[in-house]
Amino acid sequence: MPRAPERAATIAAALVLVIGMGFGRFAFTGLYPLMISEHAISVQGGSYAASANYAGYLAGALLSAVLTGIPSRWLCSLAVISTVALLGALALPMPEGAIVSIRGVAGISSAFAMVAASHWLIHDRNHHQGTPALFAGVGIGILMSAEMIALAHRIALSSRAIWLALAVAAGALAVVALIMQQRADRTPAAAPRHLSAPAQADGAPLLGPVRLIVIYGLAGFGYIITATYLPLLVGEVLTSTDPVHIWSLFGLGAVPSCFFWHALHERFGTRRSLTANLVVQAIGVALPVLHTPAAYILSALLVGGTFVGTVTIAMPAVRKAATAVRFNMLALMTASYGIGQIAGPLMANALYLRSQSFDLSLAIAAGSLVAGAVLCADIRRNRAPSQPV
């Protein structure tokens, strides 16, 4: 059983991701259709805003690699405070270009939240077993923000009013997170655990740093079109249901998935669990091309139930691979993910302008996830077991 300070640290770190990721990053997905209907933004502008957000995420990841002298808890504070301010800024009337710019800066805050919260809990507090609960914060944040948006739809609030409500809720959560982090740091961290030699539960050699970075980039590209456009896609088919509820399913699927994929990783190792994760995710990404209500619902559950699981599996693998390199593996993995996320909406927008459909984009995204699964294969027959690739 974890000590009380470790439980408090886990909750605090998860709340940072609830705010920085669930609210600051993914609330835009739920509000995107309403903003289009209000002519606050166009489909093309929304694609640019999404890519700007992911470009900011990339920039924030790279900055995190440089800002090694700043304590992780301070970066967590910066992430949540700036996220609240940026959510509030979107409540103001502004041109489309300003929305795109704000979403770009919000991406930096999201990256700070992801990198700093992970580093603070896993490295500073040495609480590695809290990893699943930490990343469950992303799904909890998506679920909370989506249901807030759905409730606001029912009482006919404008998108600007909803952004303000989200800022107020995120601000309240930020106060709780920062107080809990401060209290947790008053207690000495747990003793660091010894890293064993490169081996896995399945006996296969570890995935090497370069291969991990490439797979993670493909995963970022693979899930992001679903994570950006799902409510917009659903709204074209489910006219009797608020599409934001389908987006809630995406977040709901993410919460238990962190624990499921963590257990699978512990039982079967990185290669097998990551392969299964990416294949299931690919199926979920491809399903909306069927254009049926059941396909959208299942897509939300499958992609929501795997995309944070990818992170849950990858982070322990990163920690082991990092012992063989001199660069910041966590920051570069986040950067690789960010590059994939930038490319996804840009490709989707270009193809949408030609065909008025996201089907081809979804098929390409599913293919990238399958490619990542293939790269997880054990190639010991071709290389020496002692060489991680």
Domain boundaries, the chain: 4-188+198-375
Per CATH, the number for 4-188+198-375 is 1.20.1250.20
Confidence of residue 381 (pLDDT cuts 50, 70, 90): very low
Average pLDDT over residues 253-277: 92
pLDDT at position 197 is 41
Question: What share of the chain in percent tops pLDDT 90?
Answer: 56
Tell me the C-alpha distance between 168 and 213, whole Å. 36
Average pLDDT over residues 129-136: 89
Average pLDDT over residues 35-42: 93
Q: Are 136 and 304 in contact (CB under 8 A)?
A: no
Q: Are 137 and 20 in contact (CB under 8 A)?
A: no
Average pLDDT over residues 158-169: 97
Tell me the C-alpha distance between 106 and 52, whole Å. 9
Q: Which of 48-57, 192-201, 363-372 has the lowest mean pLDDT?
A: 192-201
Which amino acid appears at position 276 of this protein? A
pLDDT at position 385 is 45
Between 202 and 135, whose confidence is greater? Answer: 135
- Tokens in use for 72? 């992780």
**Element (H or E) spanning 270, and its range?**
helix 243-286
Q: Are 32 and 99 in contact (CB under 8 A)?
A: no
Q: Are 365 and 284 in contact (CB under 8 A)?
A: no
Q: Of 221, 170, 189, give the one whose Cα is nearest residue 340.
A: 221
Whole-model pTM: value is 0.85
Residue with tokens 């030609």: 354
pLDDT at position 14 is 96
pLDDT at position 341 is 86
Q: Are 210 and 389 in contact (CB under 8 A)?
A: yes
Tell me the C-alpha distance between 89 and 142, whole Å. 20
Average pLDDT over residues 296-324: 83
Confidence of residue 243 (pLDDT cuts 50, 70, 90): confident
Within 10 Å of residue 234's Cβ, how many Cβ atoms? 26
Neighbouring residues of 272: CB distance < 8 A, sequence distance ≥ 6: 202, 204, 376
pLDDT at position 131 is 85
pLDDT at position 386 is 44
- Tokens in use for 1? 């059983």
Residues 52-91 have pLDDT tens digits of 998 998 899 888 878 778 899 999 999 999 999 999 999 9
Q: Are 328 and 65 in contact (CB under 8 A)?
A: yes
Confidence of residue 337 (pLDDT cuts 50, 70, 90): confident
Per-residue pLDDT for 237 more than 60?
yes
In the chain, how long is the greatest CA-to-CA distance?
63
Average pLDDT over residues 234-240: 72
pLDDT at position 384 is 46
Tell me the C-alpha distance between 174 and 117, whole Å. 13
- Tokens in use for 365? 């995204």
Residue 32: HSE in the Cβ half-sphere, 13 Å Cα cutoff: 29
pLDDT at position 255 is 92
Neighbouring residues of 316: CB distance < 8 A, sequence distance ≥ 6: 128, 131, 265, 270
How high does pLDDT run on average in the chain?
A: 87
Q: Are 347 and 361 in contact (CB under 8 A)?
A: yes
pLDDT at position 70 is 87
pLDDT at position 231 is 86
Residue 180: HSE in the Cβ half-sphere, 13 Å Cα cutoff: 23
Which amino acid appears at position 2 of this protein? P
pLDDT at position 127 is 83
Confidence of residue 117 (pLDDT cuts 50, 70, 90): very high
Per-residue pLDDT for 327 more than 80?
no
Confidence of residue 100 (pLDDT cuts 50, 70, 90): very high
**Element (H or E) spanning 64, and its range?**
helix 43-66
pLDDT at position 317 is 76
Confidence of residue 205 (pLDDT cuts 50, 70, 90): low
Question: What share of the chain in percent tops pLDDT 70?
Answer: 88
Residues 214-231 have pLDDT tens digits of 999 999 999 999 988 888
